[in-house]
Structure 1
Amino acid sequence: MSELMTAVRESRTHELPALLAKMDTAERRAALVELKTLRKEVRGWSWDSQRKIIRPLLVAGAGCHTGAAACATWIAGRDLLGWDRPPFTLVVAAMADRDPEWLGDVAHRLAARPATAETTYDLISRLVRKSQCAVPTTDGFVRGWLQTVSTYQWQREKRKPFIDMLRADPFAPVLLPRIFEVQELPPQMLWSYETDDERRWDVTLAALPQTGLLERAALVDGCVSRLLRGGKPGEQRFFLSTLRLLALTEQEEAERVPDWIGMATDAMSTVAAHAQQVLGRLDERGRLSARTLAEVSGAVLFRTEKKLVRSQLVLLGKALRHDPSAADELLPVVVGAFEHEDMDVQERALSLVGRYLSATGAGVQEELALSASLLGPAHRTLVTEVFGVSAAGEPEPQEYEEVLPPAPVTRRLDPVPLSLPELVEDVVVLGRASAPEIPVFERVLDGLVRHAHTARSALTGALREALTGEWWMTGGSGEGDLPHWSARQIRTAEGIEPVLAVLLGHLSPQVVADELASWTGTESCVHASLQGILRARVWDAADAVLTGDRPFLVATPTWHTGSLDPSVLVDRLREYQRLGLRPGQTDFAQAVLRVRRHEQDGAAAAAEGLGTPEGERLASWLRADEPLAEVYRFDLEKKTRRGQTVERTHRILMATRERPFIEKVLPRSFHWLGQPQIPTHNPCYHWGERPEHWVATLPEDAETLAARLLPNTANNVIEEIQNAARQLTLLAELDGPVGEAIHLTLAYGLGARHPEDRLAAVDALLILATRQRLDATLLGERIAALLDCGLIKPVRLADSVRTAAVTGAYRTVLSVLTGVLPGVLAHEKAPRGAGDLLAVAAECVEHCGTTETEEISGLSGTAARGGSSQLVRQAKRLAEAWKAGAPRG
């Protein structure tokens, strides 16, 4: 046993199987006790030291366990598997003397572990072959097999056909049917190059019925079921490709009508299009009843994809041409297309109704006429032709009323928890929250400082009991008892962990002093600097609870946005003066940045009357009543030579000017806020963080904050990175001045690629409009500039403004678009999506009219062009609506 432990500590892994073979059961059990002790010890070592010993620990522990369950638990330990490839060959060798049934039990127990079955596939497969047990069929084992087989086939230089390799694989007959049942396929299965490459899984699967490895019916059913189930687009395309390669017979297609209906109505667009084609073929063969066609059409025509809706209208037209007597059943579902956002789709549906209206009964005609009368002015002529004047009669003009969402209400923060149980409960909730809210964070931080000042012993005891089991709650008192990695994580934590660790005696005073001195405010980028303020505040609070001499924090906001009422701050400073104390520098600096400045002469006089340095600085800050920094437009140009071509990179951004006054009011570590910021060509990549803390740090200077964050926001929009505009809604809710920086950020956000970013921008647009802080002309000009430089795409912008308009903000959206469209129409060749922008503008004018006397520049010329393109048709529609749009409301 001593020799075994020595070999483990010296990382002589290859010697372990031979040493284990010499040991009996009693010796192995005794060694296992020491191995478990060593494993606990290793968890506190540095990563480099851990890497050297986890491999021998894994092998030795596997060989010393006598129970299959305990052995599987040991092998599957995350700390033993590590990042390197585990020595599974040696693990099997260490268990060479075990009987096959025991090895099979271990294999199945490992396969049943969802977290590690895939990563331990190599070991499980070896144990299965050695024990000759049944092949496991768990998701993890199936994914491991698929990943291994796929990678091996793609990497082999001299390979035999993939299908021959599967035929020779003893696992294949059992695991192939499970491909259609696992939750998620490994990415290696989806690799593809040439369409007929024999290494492709879809090509191979389609050929399996010829080998007898998988029956055709099971293969078809499996593909259909996965397409109905939905999933990631890559997987859906894979199963669709396999299904197409199988080339279903007429009988196979006819047997699955409900499945095609389900795909056509709910599946992703490519899958729905395939199902739609199948249903079309079935209808041509007379295998689809009129009622079934009506059922599927009613759902498809409500989909947003124009191509699918148009194809369904064509399918209905063919069915009606073949059997006009089905008009009573089929035409009523066509009204679903009347509600589509695309005018061409509406016109196609109306034309289809007109073509077969005479074949319907009076009741159906009345129903269709009522639905058609709700179409916009652009279709009234056609509606009149189809139904007559009575159905298309001009509705009585109604006074237009803009519908905007309620203005966000600024909420006061709840009081800091006064009772110890309430504070401890909030601490636990905050620790478990993946994205803690600012009010909760601020209340807890202040509450910890207050209770540490008045009842430190009781607070420490309550926290120790409530936080048992936390990752850093190990050892006794003093930093030396903390594992190295825990101490490092606490130092870099961005929550309240440092404050709690100091309270519970897990970090020494020297650590707190070092961390307080380490932050200078000169981080690598503005995001890191803003996050640095938060970390500095946390360590400042840790220092406060360490000494216990501060009764509370002065920077705790009074409003949910992070803003601080100046009279409240003056009262807090007055209490510090009464106690003969001074607030922490970081705490006071954050309070100054949060305090409301506008028209605060009374608060400034009260602050000056305190006669303290903090009072005088606060008074100067309030009386200055100036933004943190002045912002101005800054166009960033860059030329990159690639061979014989020169590529230009253009960004429309904002820069900030120097403000030396900052140095008079804030400590040195905050002076970076007053230094000028000039955007560079090397933006940082902080797109994963949550910006709530950034906004709450500068709640009264939204313009300055927007200007500093803009380079990163613009880069993320242009590079189509997700979460590019997450901060927009937060900025719109702040009370500070709204100027060019916020409007330019909003312009970028409205053109973002990802829908969630565009929705955040739409929310910000509506909030600004509701609060009467939106400059529609300025926003339109900034959007036009971005479009002109190709920094955003018209089709994405059209989706954003359409979303805003349909909420009821037609006049707001129109006022923005009137500044955008002249630049779009000035192009000799209009960009893709220009017709969509015109369609949104036309819809706005049709709803709210226009107060402008002059037509949009370039509109008449575009409307006068020949052809029937979307651009020309929508230009004509907008021009006609503009002429008829007398002011309403």
Structure 2
Amino acid sequence: MSAVLDAVRAGRAGETELLLRSLPDAERRSLLPELKRLRTEVRDLPWERRNGAERMYPALQVAGAMCHSGAAAAATWIAGADMRWRQAPTETLLRALAGRDTGWQADVARRLAGRPVSADVPFALMAGLVQRSGCEVPVTDAYVVGWVRHVGHGWGRVPLVDRLRAEPDLVPLVNGLFELSDLGEVRWLFGDGPGSWQSALAELTRTGELDRAAVVDACVARLLRGGGPTDHRVFLPLLVQLALTREEERDRVADWTALARDAVSPVAAHAQAVLAALALDGRLAAGQLAEASEGVLFRSEKKLVRAQLVLLGKVLAGAPDAAPQLLPAVAQAFGHEDTQVQERALKLVERHAKRLDDPAARSGIAEAADRLSPALRTRATGALGLAPAAAPEAYAEVLPPAPEPFRPEPAPDSAVELAEEIGALLASDGDVASFERALDGLARHAYRDRDALRAALEPVAAARWWKRPDTREGWRADEYFGNTRYGLLGPRDGLELLLATLFDAVGTDTLFAARQRGPAGHGCVHSGLSHAFDARLRELAYRIRTDPQPLLLATPSWSTGLVEPGDLVDRLARYGRLGARVGAADFAQALLRVRREDRAAALAAAEGAAALGSPEGGRLARWLSAGAAVPPSAQRRTSGARILVETGEVPELQEDFPEAFRRLGRPVTTGDERRYCGHWNQEGHPHWLAILPERRELVAVRLVHDLSLAAVDDQRGMAAVLPTLAESGGAAGESTRLCVAYGLGARHPEDRLAAVDALLVLAARGQLDAERLGADLGQLVRRGAVKPLRLAESARTAAATGANTTIWEMLRHALPVLLADLPAAGAGTPGAARGLGELLSVAAECAERCGARGAIPHLARAAARRGSSRLAVQARRLRDALDTEAAA
């Protein structure tokens, strides 16, 4: 037995198999505890020391497979994740299992095949066990994917179709191919054109090796079921190559209807083409075509919708009696967002409305006409012979309500509850209120009973990297947390610092030196915000170690970060009663957060602060009495396609503030954007806004370049901060508008949605200057920083909430800039004009709904362009909507 263990430790798999083959089952089983101990020993080694020990894995895999008597245990051992990258040779494993009875081997084969594809069980092992045991082939994802890889990698120059013909289990494995949950693991092996899997399977179907009806049914069923995002690229070409007859297509009308309604665009287009051919051949009943059309006309793809309307027009021209069945389906397109589609549908209804002798059908179309644009709705009324609609009521915009700030709960009285909240914050991105509540709780409990706090936090701290330094080679907590060059990267880093301080993983000298040293150099544009955030956390860490604070002065009274002046006076009074020393960074942050816009409350609190008789009380009294903050001077600068903002100095932030906070009041220039920046983590952006909750422009000016990355460089996630920016306080000036403008033109839909949320919040709060925002957007589109199609999608999303007047005012001032650059008809379309038709469409929709009137510079020239391009059609639509005389 010792010889077996020596062979395992040396990684000699073949020798291990020979030694174990000579042992009886009982002695093999007795080796299992030692084998499990060896496996655990290797798994628990630090990764930097694991490489040498992993050489024993192939022999360990063979030994475990031979020593387990149960099939389930043997399969689990063989497929262990830790052995995945250092497996024993397949032939060695097959020899090791050859002595077992066929039923046992079949059971192991089925269990290995039942593992997920990610387990990467060798196909040769599973296939060898199936062949030796004589069991049925297990048609599982893992087995079928392994088979595809095995066949697809080729056998020299043998064509794929011949490789498949040689497969004894071809039919069940091909059936399994259609049942795969996702082809992502093997999609690249299928190829395209001659020699591909699709061509091979179609050839095998033509020659009879595969049953044609079964393959066609399986292929259609798989397309109906869907799957991975690229799975249709395998099954749709196969279906096309099978070349279904008209009778085969006619037997599957229900399937084509479902595919045309719900499948991905390429599959839906194929299904639509099949239905169209059947309809034009007279093999599709009017009711069936109507059912299919209702599904297609609800789709967002304009190409599919237009093709369906063309088909319906052809069928109605050849079979006018089908109008009562088909026209209600045509009316489904009245609700489409594209007014050109609406007009196409209306023209069909106008052409065949005289054949509508069914009152129910006419009534249904009349109801659908309410979804048409106002101008088309008037036409529909005449075509259907309806009474003219009553004059519409004056439009009144109803914006979604802006979120209201809330009062956060106070810090938990229980250290255990506080520990649970901190654990949750470390595991996910918490909001500002939760983070500040945790900071205040740490300060209070460290002041009250540090030992009890440590005991409660022990389960949270046990999993932190600074508790297990061997897993972070080259890093120690002192080195990591003592580095102040870029500050802490975010709130989670700050919590890590505080926990490491509580558990003595960071030295007091390190905490003191980092606090004294402060931020280095001028830094990037974010440095003022990051260093103010950093200074407060480092001060709290040092005070927890040396002189705990009874509470934090800067804990927000509101979710936005604002501190009520009365709350701050009460906190300073408590410090005085306890004889506690006020932290400089904590007090500086409290001053920046205290509400001053409510002058009555500020002046009342100033009297109470002065009565405290302490230096901090006097400082607070002067701060509250100074009046509302004066915004710094702002100036625009261009940088490539971007428009950025520079600001001047804020004098009041230069006096009586720690150095880290003075940076917030220093000038911001475009040169700051070119400095190296380590603030890649957007997790801290909402917390930066809470540093200056009444002065959002001082934060926004430092975020403009970040937001431009979402539009110009297509970076994801940059606009997530915009709703918080909109909910913050203070003037919404140049920088805030540019941030929103870049967000509306962001590459990714989730960023554009965040920008729309911000726009609506600002509008609901009466803080949106739509005119200047529109002018900014016009310039950004003109410079190429914002693409018109993205802006149009954002504008349409905002208008869909009911904000038609707001979006109209925005686009009314953006469009003249773009229309002025529009070349004459036939002179070509520049990049700035690409997508302009979509913007005009949204503008026309908003103008029609809110009853806007008046002229837009250069619109008449665009409307005079010949042809039926989207730009020309929508320009004419907008011109007609704004024409006062036409409206009258």
Tell me, yes or no, whether TM beats 0.5: yes
Into which bin does the TM-score normalised by the smaller protein fall?
A: 0.7 to 0.9
> Which of the numbers 644, 652, 655 marks the counterpart of 1:653?
644
SS in 2 for 1:279: helix
Residues 727 and 496 (structure 1), Cα distance of their counterparts in 2 relative to 1, 3 Å cut: closer
Matched residue SS, 2:720: coil
* Distance 1:634-1:177 versus aligned 2 partners, 3 A rule: farther
Who is 2:46 aligned against?
Answer: 46
Once residues 636 and 347 of structure 1 are traced to their aligned partners in structure 2, the CA distance between those partners, rounded to angstroms, is 43
Letter in 2 for 1:379: L
Q: What is the CA distance between 1:793 and its match in structure 2?
A: 1.9
Matched with 1:644 is: none
Structure 2 partner of 1:344: 340
Which piece of structure 1 moves more, 329-338 or 775-784?
329-338
More deviation, 122-131/765-774: 122-131
Q: Which of residues 689, 704, 709 is equivalent to 2:703?
A: 709
**1:692/1:43 CA distance change after superposition, 3 Å:** farther
Displacement after TM superposition at 1:170 (Å): 5.7
CA distance in 2, matches of 1:123, 1:666: 71
Q: Deviation per CA, 1:421-449: give whole Å up to 9, x if none.
A: 654554565566x4434333332343344
Matched with 1:645 is none
Q: In the superposition, relative to structure 1, how do residues 680 and 100 fare at CA in structure 2: closer, same or farther (>3 Å)?
A: farther
Deviations 1:330-374 (A, max 9, x none): 212222222222222222112111221222216244554565476
DSSP-derived class of the 1:808 partner: coil
Q: Percent identity?
A: 43
Aligned CA distance change for structure 1 residues 168 and 246 (closer, same or farther; 3 Å): same
What's the offset of the Cα at 1:808?
A: 1.9
AA aligned to 2:376 is H
The separation in 2 between residues aligned to 1:618 and 1:7, in whole angstroms, is 77
Structure 2 distance, partners of 1:23, 1:403, is: 84
Secondary structure of the residue that 1:302 maps to in structure 2? coil
Report the AA paired with residue 560 of structure 1: S
**8 Å Cα contact 1:653-1:679 kept in structure 2:** no
Distance 1:169 1:268 in 2: 33
Equivalent in the alignment of 2:559: 560
Does the CA-based 8 Å contact 1:327-1:359 persist in structure 2?
A: yes
Aligned equivalent of 1:379? 376
The residue that corresponds to 2:484 in the other structure is none
Q: Is the 8 A contact 1:758 1:800 kept in 2?
A: yes
Report if aligned partners of 2:440, 2:555 keep a CA contact under 8 Å in 1: yes
- Residue number among 350, 353, 356 corresponding to 1:354 in the alignment: 350
Deviations 1:834-874 (A, max 9, x none): 2222222222222223365xx11101122223333222222
Structure 2 match to 1:857: 857
Q: Identify if the C-alpha distance between structure 1 residues 809 and 448 changes in structure 2 by more than 3 Å, giving closer, same or farther.
A: same
Aligned residue for 1:180?
178
Q: Residue in 1 aligned with 2:876?
A: 876
Specify the alignment match of 1:297 in structure 2. 293
Aligned to 1:785: 779
Deviation at 1:293, TM superposition (A): 1.8
CA shift digits 1:652-710 (9 cap, x unpaired): 23345566875655555566645645223988894885854454455444323333233
Cα distance in 2 for residues equivalent to 1:111 and 1:667: 66
Q: Which moved more, 1:654-663 or 1:747-756?
A: 654-663
What letter is aligned with 2:638? D
Classify the secondary structure of the residue corresponding to 1:186: coil
Q: How many residues align?
A: 857
2:844 paired with 1:842: yes
Compute the displacement of 1:879 (Å).
1.8
Mapped contact 2:190–2:234 kept (Cα < 8 A): no
Q: 1:19 to 1:621 in 2, by over 3 A?
A: farther
Residue 411, structure 1, aligned to residue 413, structure 2:
no
8 Å CA contact 1:679, 1:711 repeated in 2: yes
User: Which residue does 1:143 correspond to in 2?
Assistant: 145
User: What corresponds to 2:485 in structure 1?
Assistant: none
Alignment partner of 1:233: what SS?
Answer: coil
Letter in 2 for 1:758: R
Alignment partners' CA distance in 2, 1:512 and 1:216: 78
What is the 5 A alignment of 1:326-725?
Answer: 326-361=322-357, 363=359, 364-365=361-362, 367-369=364-366, 371-372=368-369, 375-379=372-376, 382-383=379-380, 386-387=383-384, 391=387, 393=388, 395-419=390-414, 422-423=417-418, 426-427=421-422, 430=425, 434-456=428-450, 458-461=452-455, 467=459, 472=463, 479=467, 507-510=503-506, 514=510, 520-521=518-519, 549-583=548-582, 587-588=586-587, 590-598=589-597, 599=599, 600-601=602-603, 603=605, 623=626, 626=629, 632-637=635-640, 650-655=641-646, 657=648, 667=658, 673=664, 676=668, 678-680=672-674, 686=680, 691-725=685-719
Q: In 1, are the aligned partners of 2:840 and 2:871 still within 8 Å (CA)? A: yes
**The residue matched to 1:735 in structure 2 has which SS?**
coil
Aligned partners of 1:183 and 1:471: how far apart in 2?
39
Deviates more, 1:486-495 or 1:861-870: 486-495
Does 1:757 pair with 2:748? no
- State the TM-score, normalized to the length of structure 1: 0.84
Q: Is the 8 A contact 1:630 1:704 kept in 2?
A: no
- Which stretch shifts more, 529-538 or 437-446? 529-538
- Look up the match of 2:114: 112
* Cα distance, 1:616 vs structure 2: 6.5
Out of 338-347 and 125-134, give the one that drifted further: 125-134
* Superposition deviation, residue 759 in structure 1: 2.0
Query: Which structure 2 residue ranges, 5 or more long, are not aligned?
Result: 482-487
The residue that corresponds to 1:775 in the other structure is 769
The one-letter amino acid paired with 2:267 is V
2:410 aligned counterpart, secondary structure: coil
Is 1:271 the counterpart of 2:264? The answer is no
Which moved further from structure 2: 327-336 or 124-133?
A: 124-133
Equivalent residue, structure 2, for 1:196: 193
Partner residue in 2 for 1:640 = none
CA contact (8 A) 1:527 1:686 kept: no
Question: Compared with structure 1, are the counterparts of its residues 89 and 285 closer, same or farther at alpha carbon in structure 2 (3 Å cutoff)?
Answer: same
What is the deviation of 1:189? 1.4
Structure 1, unaligned stretches of length 5 or more? 638-649
After superposition, give the CA deviation of every residue in 1:531-563 in whole Å (9 maximum; x if it has no partner).
787787667666666668333333332222233
* TM-score (norm: length of structure 2): 0.84
Mapped partners of 1:254, 1:167: distance in 2: 31
Deviations 1:4-33 (A, max 9, x none): 666766777887656766877677656544
Paired position in structure 1 for 2:222: 226
**Post-superposition shift, 1:574?**
3.3
Q: Which moved more, 1:234-243 or 1:374-383?
A: 374-383
Structure 1 position 738, deviation (Å) = 1.0
Secondary structure of the equivalent of 2:400? coil
**Matched residue of 1:801: which SS?**
helix
Q: 2-side partners of 1:601 and 1:430: how far apart?
A: 37
| Distance in 1, Cα, partners of 2:261 & 2:217 | 19
For 1:488 and 1:147, the matched residues in 2 are separated by 45
Letter of the structure 1 residue corresponding to residue 48 of structure 2 = D
Q: Structure 1 residues 281 and 451, CA, compared in 2 at 3 Å: closer, same or farther?
A: same
Residue 202 of structure 2 aligns to which amino acid in structure 1? Answer: A
Asked if 1:206 is matched to 2:202, the reply is yes
Q: Which position in structure 1 is the counterpart of 2:802?
A: 808
Residue pair 1:502, 1:546 contacting (<8 A) in 2 also: no
SS in 2 for 1:773: coil
Compared with structure 1, are the counterparts of its residues 583 and 137 closer, same or farther at alpha carbon in structure 2 (3 Å cutoff)? Answer: farther
Corresponding residue of 2:314: 318
Spell out, residue by residue over 1:802-839, the C-alpha distance to the aligned partner (whole angstroms, 9 max, x if none).
Answer: 22223222211111111111122122155122222222
Equivalent-residue separation in structure 2 for 1:768 and 1:762 (angstroms): 10
CA shift in 2, pair 1:473/1:738, >3 Å: closer
**1:99 matched to which residue of 2?**
100
How large is the RMSD of aligned CA atoms in angstroms?
4.3
Q: Which moved more, 1:66-75 or 1:128-137?
A: 128-137
Partner of 2:162: 164
Give the whole-Å Cα distance in 1 for the aligned partners of 2:879 and 2:468.
77
Matched position secondary structure for 2:231: helix
Shift of residue 629, structure 1, vs aligned partner: 7.2
* Deviations 1:227-267 (CA, angstroms, capped at 9, x unpaired): 22234432233322222222211122112111111111222
Residue 776 (structure 1) shift:
0.9
